[in-house]
Amino acid sequence: MNTLLAPATRLWLRLRLNEVGPLLSLSACGFFAWAFIALADEVREGETHALDSHLLLALRDPQNPANPLGPSWLEESARDFTGLGGYAILTLITLAAVIYLLMAGKRGAAILVLVAIVGGTLLSTGLKLGFERPRPDLVPHATRVYTASFPSGHAMMSAITYLTLGALLARVEKSRRVSTFIMGLAIITTLLVGISRVYLGVHWPSDVLAGWAVGAAWAALCWFVALQLQRRGQVEKPGELTPPSDAKPE
């Protein structure tokens, strides 16, 4: 028994799972990954169709399904929010974050952000191609769509981008208050993008939930990796700059 426990204990301590940050991030990654797998299984079996349909129609005028509930400005606002999850906006935000980190002397964090977002984009593309779920046909779409429905690309990529950036930027920020603000803003933006997709009739609610789950899992994984790399000196700690190339390790 000891021969089995000893390697597991060494791995546990090596990954710093006895500390709150690494344990919480890895646990969150596992939970959200499980949530996506469970939801995907329900979608494949058609178990979510009735609830999806009910929620989608609940957001429409019963007399005219082409009109979302609420005033016209709310529909226009939804289009603005959904644009925050578009590839053009997310690319601009990612490049701005990378440039900021490079200018701030945080080269390791900049590379990690770039790898995390590009990796998340590839994951999103692969999942959408793998599931190929048709778009909702119960109501007219209030914005243009080009790809399959599951998981929601906007919800998933906004979660991947905003939550990953939020977790990584919060981690290199010295002020806890600023870190909390960054993470709160990332979560609110992610939620608004996903909700707008259902409101505009271009996604089933389960598509959005799946996108959020994958994005949150990816962001948590990136947070875990950032913590590990910071302890190895490969990513800057809060308030720390990129060490000179000729600096000797302590």
Name the residue with tokens 């469970």: 38
Rg (CA), the chain: 20
Query: Dihedrals φ, ψ of 160, to 5°?
Result: -60, -45
Q: What is the pLDDT of residues 27-39, one digit of tens each?
A: 889 999 999 999 9
- 88: buried, middle or exposed (CB in 10 Å: 19+, 13-18, 0-12)? exposed
Using CA atoms, how far apart are residues 155 and 210, in angstroms rounded to an integer?
8
DSSP designation for 70: S
Q: What is the pTM of this model?
A: 0.80
Q: What is the pLDDT of residues 90-110, one digit of tens each?
A: 999 999 988 988 887 888 888
The beta-carbon contacts of 178-182 under 8 Å, at least 24 apart in sequence, are: none
Query: Dihedrals φ, ψ of 66, to 5°?
Result: -75, -20
> At residue 74, what is the residue type?
L
* Domain locations along the chain: 19-55+72-232
Q: What is the mean pLDDT of residues 114-132?
A: 85
